[in-house]
Chain A
């Protein structure tokens, strides 16, 4: 019997939750921490406002003083060499079409697009062919999350570099 249970364990060894679960969890994680961060931003903004108020008040009470500016020294300035214009390589994104993740979604009212990193196996789950040896690679994707917090659609992003 032990052998049979071992065989069952062996056959299940590679079984894992599909990539959609990771997408949904990441969306939930972002929603949670986005909400948790806003009080800090608000507090920081308030502190900045108060700081600028207190810094300004003493200025109103200061007395005018005469400032004597010494004459500027004469300096010889060497002619600057013409700058070499460097064309930096601009990253360019190529995106696929959106692939639906829900079969019968409720009407779309509003949502947000989340950029996530996923195993390439996620592409297979929506029907995009991926070779076996590249399944474990990480790909970038944009997930469209609807007003109800569910991942509705996904598109994959390829970041290539534009040659000047």
Chain B
């Protein structure tokens, strides 16, 4: 890819774009932002290829790291993302599809620091080690954020089951 091999770049993109897109989508709940973030991640990879150091972590965590910075920037400065803070309107319907959308809204209602830990580790099966690299923090911090995120999520979902 460094030598301008378009096929290598295409292969890399096709293999890696799915997890990046899903991470951005689950973090923002917005397909347009998820699409933009995915594009910007690979544009950044094109311009920063030399900065990726395999000794410091996997390509997946490197890509998640770029995506995470872009997502947080979008969350901070845009109103495109709805505020899902109110737990009372989560999961009103019992159908599976709406249940899933309710869980999605509950995840989206978490503060970003807990949300990213839940999205990476619980939804996308990223290891603690990889998540720590992507989130640029120690593994212990990932664990504690994950615990806090899970308990907040459990509370929100419990409100639903008690309604």
Residues of A within 8 A of B (CB): 1-2, 4-5, 7-9, 11-12, 15-18, 20-22, 24-26, 28-30, 32-33, 36-37, 117
12 cross-chain CB contacts under 8 A: A1-B150, A5-B118, A5-B153, A8-B100, A9-B125, A12-B26, A15-B25, A16-B17, A20-B35, A21-B38, A29-B6, A32-B47
Docked complex Cα distance between A20 and B34 (Å): 13
Interface range, B side: 35 or more
Q: Does any Cβ of A come within 8 Å of B69's Cβ?
A: no
Docked complex Cα distance between A91 and B142 (Å): 57
Q: Does any Cβ of A come within 8 Å of B114's Cβ?
A: no
What chain A residues lie within 8 Å of B96 (beta carbons)? Answer: 7
Q: A2-B122, A29-B46 are in contact. Are A15 and B100 (CB under 8 A)?
A: no
Q: Does any Cβ of A come within 8 Å of B107's Cβ?
A: yes
Q: Does any Cβ of A come within 8 Å of B84's Cβ?
A: no
Docked complex Cα distance between A37 and B6 (Å): 14
Mark each residue of chain B from 125 to 163: 1 if its CB lies under 8 Å from any CB of chain A, else 0.
100000000000000000000000010011001000000
Q: Are B17 and A8 in contact (CB under 8 A)?
A: no
Residues of B within 8 A of A (CB): 4, 6, 9-10, 13-14, 17-18, 20-22, 25-26, 34-35, 38-39, 42-43, 46-47, 96-97, 99-100, 103-104, 107, 118, 122-125, 150, 153-154, 157
Docked complex Cα distance between A102 and B157 (Å): 41
Docked complex Cα distance between A33 and B47 (Å): 11
Q: Are B46 and A28 in contact (CB under 8 A)?
A: yes
What chain B residues lie within 8 Å of A37 (beta carbons)? Answer: 4
What chain A residues lie within 8 Å of B17 (beta carbons)? Answer: 16-17, 21-22
What chain A residues lie within 8 Å of B39 (beta carbons)? Answer: 17, 21, 24-25
What chain B residues lie within 8 Å of A32 (beta carbons)? Answer: 46-47
Q: Are A5 and B123 in contact (CB under 8 A)?
A: yes
Q: Are A33 and B99 in contact (CB under 8 A)?
A: no
The 5 nearest A-B residue pairs measured at CB: A33-B4, A17-B38, A17-B21, A9-B123, A4-B103
- Which residue in A5, A15, A117 is a CB contact (below 8 Å) of B122? A5
Q: How far is the CB of A148 from chain B (nearest CB, A)?
A: 15
Q: Are A1 and B4 in contact (CB under 8 A)?
A: no
